[in-house]
Amino acid sequence: MSTTTILPLSNDWEALVRPVPPHASFKWQETFVATPPKPKRPMATYTSPLDDHEETVRALPESKEWKQYVVELAEWQDKSAKLRASTMLDEMAFSHDYAVVGWRKKGTEEEWIKDAPDDWEPDESFDRHGVDIGGDEKRILWIRLELMEFQQDIEALNALAFPDRGDKALTPVTDKEVRAVLSSFQSDDGSAGRSMGGDTGAGRRRQDRDVSVRGGDAGGRLARWARRLVQKL
């Protein structure tokens, strides 16, 4: 078994937690997140004014091909970030299911419990108020509703399940953060591509390398969220 840690919770329980391997997160995303293909770096045909010789090379910044590429890349980032936000809670359920090996009452040496009690059902108030708590199996619902009752326990679980991995950290975001992402989306009116970097010096080199969307518009926010939410963009 991989490295495990006993996590004391804010209620009467303690949980046995293990890290979620990067490969497990990657395979989940590969299975359930159909990210659209990234636009390819544009090519353009230029004609020599001396001998009318034509040559196809990479499009230069500020060319019409480049500007179209900027728009397509911003749209791709927007769609990718929306897709990742829409699947984030499902991925979190998988991650917590994997990370929580078992649980038991604090201060005991009993065997770790791995499944919800057979007679346990979510509180009836969900049904009475028409609240959809998802189609997760009983074990996941037990972890979410009974074991992890307090936000600080969820944060502690995430810290153990997803230790720091630098730029490729895959720690799931909270419900609040997901809602913030969704509320930041704007209509696809092409505005996301208007805040691209400059056309000279370091700005051009950054463009040439990555073409990241910047600024305070929707595209800039989506690019920053994409770097947090998406493993491979």
Q: Coil, strand, or helix at residue 29?
A: helix
Q: Coil, strand, or helix at residue 196?
A: coil
At 209, the pLDDT band (50, 70, 90 cuts) reads very low
More confident residue, 207 or 112: 112
- Tokens 């919770």 identify what position? 9
- Asked if 9 and 147 count as a contact pair (C-beta separation under 8 A), the reply is yes
The kind and range of the H/E element at 70 are helix 64-99
Question: Each residue of 20-53: pLDDT tens digit?
Answer: 999 998 899 889 888 889 999 999 888 877 777 8
Question: Each residue of 90-123: pLDDT tens digit?
Answer: 899 999 999 999 999 998 999 999 999 999 999 9
Q: Coil, strand, or helix at residue 23?
A: helix
Query: Is the whole model's pTM more than 0.75, yes or no?
Result: no
More confident residue, 79 or 199: 79
Burial 187-214 (b: 16+ CB within 10 A, else e): eeeeebbebbbeeeeeeeeebeeebbbe
Burial class (CB in 10 A: 0-12, 13-18, 19+), 69: buried
Question: Each residue of 184-206: pLDDT tens digit?
Answer: 443 333 333 333 333 334 333 33
Residue 89: name the closest of 38, 33, 138 by CA.
Answer: 33
More confident residue, 188 or 79: 79
